[in-house]
Chain A
Amino acid sequence: MKFITALFLTAFLAFAVGIYGILPWWSFVVTSFLVSVAIHQRAVKAFLAGFLGLFILWVSLATMKDVANKHILSSKVAQILPLGGSFVVLILLTGVLGGLVSGLAALTGSFFRQSK
């Protein structure tokens, strides 16, 4: 239950701080850290909750944009980056990078709370 709560809270707060384009894109680092401090879990679980929270959020947001756009832009960006023109790989890359940063922030939070 803790895991699910942490995951959704991570995603929700990341979305909230991302609404305002004025804040930097990595603002969720702070929120993911705080979630992990507030809802304490062991390292592996904390990382996974942080990772999946952002992964799911970013993959969903990117997919919604991409489907409405009929993959016009993602196929181009996936050539520039270069990912062989695959929008699927690009969406996954988006999710993994966001997830990784958030997961590490959550891991830090977990260690911050964890006693020996």
Chain B
Amino acid sequence: MRILPCILSAVATMGITTLLNVQLPAGESKTPRLGYFLSPQQGFWQNAEPADVSFDGDIKASGLKGKVDVYMDDRLVPHIYADNDLDAYYVQGFLHAKFRLWQMEFQTYVAGGRLSEIVGEGRVNTDRFFRRLGMVYGAEKTAKDMENHPELKALVESYSAGVNAYIKSLKPEQIPFEYKLLDYRPEEWTSFKTYLFLMFMSYDLTARGATTDLQMTNARNYFGYKDFEQLYPAVQDSLDPIIPRGTEFAKPSIVPQKPAGADSIYLGHTRTAAIAPPELPAKNNGSNNWAVSGSKTKSGHPILCNDPHLGLNLPSLWYEVQITTPEYSTYGASFPGAPSVIIGFNDSIAWGVTNAGRDVIDYFDLKFKDTTLQEYWYNGAWKKADSRKEVIRIKGKPDLVENIAMTEFGPVMYDNSYKNASTEGKYLAIHWTAHEGGNGPEVFFRLNRAKNYDDYIAAINTWKCPGQNFAFASVSGDIAIKQQGTFVARWKRQGDFVLPGADSSYKWQGYIPVDENPAIKNPDRGFVSSANQMPTDSTYPYYLGAPVNFPPYRGFIINRKLSAMNNITPQDMQQMQTDNYNVFAEMARPVILKYLDEASLDDTDKKYLALLKGWNLRNDINEKGATVFRCIWDSIETQMWSDEFAKSKLPLPWPDESTLLESLIKDSTYRFADDINTPDKKETVRETITKACKKACAYFKQLEKEGKLAWGVFKDTKVTHLLKIPALSRFHLPIGGGTHIINATKDSHGPSWRMIVHLTETVEAYGVYPGGQSGNPGSKYYDTFIDSWANGKYYRLLFLKKQAAQKHEKIKWHISFVNG
């Protein structure tokens, strides 16, 4: 043996093997373990799915009661035929895992505040936020409530068993791509993860209040209540509510009492309490849905349409599926991570949802005896608080333990250990309806099986959080819509700001009874619709909550169009769902032109102004006028408000566009037009708007030089991978639309599932979502639908009886499941 060379080369071998066997730092993230990742027999090459892959299979799964046949169509949509409910959800779980395992697990890591376990301390703040918001606490409550519904619980557990059957069948080299990239492994699935996922949807659709309540409090303190009412008014002139104006409402069974002194203590309150939390769900998480009755359609049968607007991600939030048992047959979009169809139809009815946007989250300002958080002041005495431990595991670091005080009002989210400079350790307990448990997916189980209007109402009345507008249409000819959820009976402005928590007087006094939620069936106008606007006019006997979440314009244009339409076909509905007409611009452009001092513009500016004047008010991809309008409007908002807002040290919510537009229409001396930085001069609306236009025009020159003046290029829509990895995302999609437009596609947010259901005897349905059925970036089915979606194309959805599925030309594969 040549000792020295032998030792040297042995050391070199071990050195390079070790180097290739660890994650190396790369900027803010880490590389995969390169040797493992590149190994063709174990690493990512194993995820390179053959383009001509067959999905045929015979699967022996333990725990099945009968035989299940799955027919996969050419878009990789499974059509599941099971003998009973438990088997159906078992196989749905198996298929969700087979095609979306990484995503469904990752989403629950986010919801449960466990990202640090995977990626290390870089995401500790996100984890702390979700833990302190009570995400795990809320899911535990749901799990506890489900104990009282053994038949529902069994369905969720059968789904979990299916997920686990797939996970167990995985060989180490078959785990999904992202596990290899981030270097971790799938763990066992549990029903609790389904509840965590549902908590995530509650967060995404209702938890803006966790931030806006703090910011609104800042705004009230900073502007004073009188100005606050001007910037954040509780009414909108352009509102066309979900329930038509003039509808009579029953007398309220709860009349919440405003505490004595609230006007001075609460509304006029000037103490500061503010913070900028690290997470904030998108403001425009909204949606459209509508149903037209047979009286307005060509066929005489109702048509229901829905497009929920959410963050656009790969893998998509949605997964299409058909589930058929001897009792029922349903088709639609499902959530990988939860059993049943969430938005869809069956052979008798169709349903669709939009977000209610009601405020169901409040803060209470508490006083604790000391920093140990053991006792707080309540109704004139010290009261003992419970404590809850949240342990955050961090990759490569010791655990972090969050001790959260639990009070009458809820968990103390912000305290002396979780704060920022502006809260100074204020103790804020959070009360959120999502903390109050629920029946999990019961509403969907029941909707999937509903036969008629009564079944639909009975199903949705079980729904608690997040509040939704459930639109409905049936083959038998009914249409309906109801805003359903657990909603707080509030006195005006209760909970719009941080509430005093020294006693019970500011607490929630009750929930609005389910039967008093806004609802309408078969209205005279022949259609129902919702687009996140306020559900009713001011004659509804309950306060609807802070109006920051009720965009009025989509609802306005939908109702205008539907009123005018007759002899409607599904193709008309496709055109309408993808329509790019900008009704906000229709109202705002004349206001801009009225105030603008054109004479003071130079020739180049006038060229851009001509684009605005000549614009057809459509946000189609090639329209330059759409970009000019958007930028001028933004510039006007900035010019009007940023001088006042810049002086606040605390984060303030930016007022709604409707507020400025309606103020300018009503008030030609709008006082925010004055630039407070020029005390000697009082700027007029005309001067401010003219200045804003000139600034925007300077920007247009630059945009034009870069070739970015056309709306599609300017907006630049993308669908990004959940890990934000560019190579796994799709960019520069040629799609129009935008804020306040029925086709509400923004840069990374928009219609996440477009569905149109024509309720004929056989049910004719169309759908598309911006993604693909496979979550594997190495599959050709990963992003299959994106181009169709961007082009406004739909797929005819195959809703098949089993005999038809066996020989349908679009059915490509068959997977059979038997117990074994």
Contacts and interface: CB of A to CB of B under 8 A. Distances in A.
15 contacts: A21-B174, A24-B36, A25-B39, A25-B43, A66-B45, A68-B51, A68-B52, A72-B48, A72-B778, A73-B778, A76-B777, A94-B45, A101-B13, A113-B1, A115-B1
Given A97-B34, A100-B16, A116-B2, A107 B779 contact: no
Contacts, number: 126
A21 B13 contact: no
Contact of B9 (A24, A79, A85, A111): A111
A61 B173 contact: no
A72 B774 CA distance: 13
Interface of B: 1-2, 5-6, 9-10, 12-13, 16-17, 20-21, 34-36, 38-52, 171-174, 177, 181, 725-728, 777-780, 782
Nearest to A103: B13
Contacts of A80: 181, 725, 727-728
A97 B38 contact: yes
Interface in A66-116: 66, 68-70, 72-74, 76-77, 79-80, 85, 93-94, 97-98, 100-101, 104-105, 107-108, 111-116
Contacts of A79: 726-727
A98 B48 contact: no
Nearest to B728: A76
B48 A73 contact: yes
Residue of B16, B174, B181, B782 with most chain A CB atoms under a 10 A cut-off: B16
A114 B45 contact: no
A98 B41 contact: no
B658 to A, nearest CB: 42
Contact of A108 (B6, B44, B782): B6
A73 B41 contact: no
B679 to A, nearest CB: 54
A25 B1 contact: no
A92 B777 CA distance: 21
A19 B20 CA distance: 20
A51 interface: no
B780 A70 contact: yes
B168 to A, nearest CB: 14
Residue of B17, B46, B782 with most chain A CB atoms under a 10 A cut-off: B17
A43 B9 CA distance: 11
B394 to A, nearest CB: 24
A15 B41 CA distance: 8
Contacts of A77: 44, 727
A43 B36 CA distance: 27
A94 B38 CA distance: 6
A74 B48 contact: yes
Nearest to B172: A21
A74 B46 CA distance: 11
Contact of B172 (A22, A29, A105): A22
B35 A26 contact: yes
A24 B172 CA distance: 10
B12 A76 contact: no
Contacts of A101: 13, 16-17, 20, 35
B20 A97 contact: yes
B171 to A, nearest CB: 5
Given A69-B778, A98-B35, 19 more contacts: A19-B41, A25-B21, A25-B35, A61-B40, A61-B41, A62-B40, A65-B45, A66-B48, A68-B48, A69-B48, A70-B51, A72-B777, A72-B780, A73-B47, A94-B45, A98-B38, A101-B13, A107-B13, A108-B13
A68 B17 CA distance: 29
A21 B9 contact: no
Contacts of A26: 17, 20-21, 35
Nearest to A61: B40
A41 to B, nearest CB: 14
A76 B13 contact: no
A114 B50 CA distance: 46
B736 to A, nearest CB: 28
B40 A94 contact: yes
A105 B726 CA distance: 37
Interface of A: 15, 18-19, 21-22, 24-26, 29, 33, 43, 58, 61-62, 65-66, 68-70, 72-74, 76-77, 79-80, 85, 93-94, 97-98, 100-101, 104-105, 107-108, 111-116
Given A61-B41, A72-B779, A73-B48, A29 B177 contact: no
Residue of A21, A24, A25, A76 with most chain B CB atoms under a 10 A cut-off: A25
A76 B314 CA distance: 14
A18 B42 contact: yes
A86 to B, nearest CB: 13
Contacts of A111: 1-2, 5-6, 9
Contacts of B13: 29, 33, 101, 104-105, 107-108
B306 to A, nearest CB: 32
B35 A112 contact: no
Nearest to A111: B6
Contact of A112 (B6, B51, B52, B725): B6
Nearest to A78: B727
A22 B171 CA distance: 8
Contacts of A73: 44-45, 47-49, 177, 777-778
A84 to B, nearest CB: 11
Contacts of B17: 26, 29, 101
Given A61-B41, A68-B50, A116-B2, A25 B9 contact: no
Contacts of A114: 1-2
Nearest to B33: A25
A65 B40 contact: yes
Nearest to B47: A73
A93 to B, nearest CB: 7
A97 B35 contact: yes
A47 B432 CA distance: 66
B42 A104 contact: no
B45 A61 contact: yes
A21 B51 contact: no
Contact of A98 (B39, B44, B52, B177): B39
A116 B6 CA distance: 12
Contacts of A115: 1-2
A70 B780 CA distance: 9
A71 to B, nearest CB: 9
A1 B181 CA distance: 41
A103 B286 CA distance: 59
B50 A69 contact: yes
Contacts of B40: 58, 61-62, 65, 94
Contacts of A22: 172
Nearest to A68: B50
Nearest to B31: A81
A111 B10 CA distance: 9
B173 A21 contact: yes
B36 A25 contact: yes
A74 B40 CA distance: 12
A72 B46 CA distance: 13
Contacts of B181: 80
Nearest to A79: B727
A105 B47 CA distance: 28
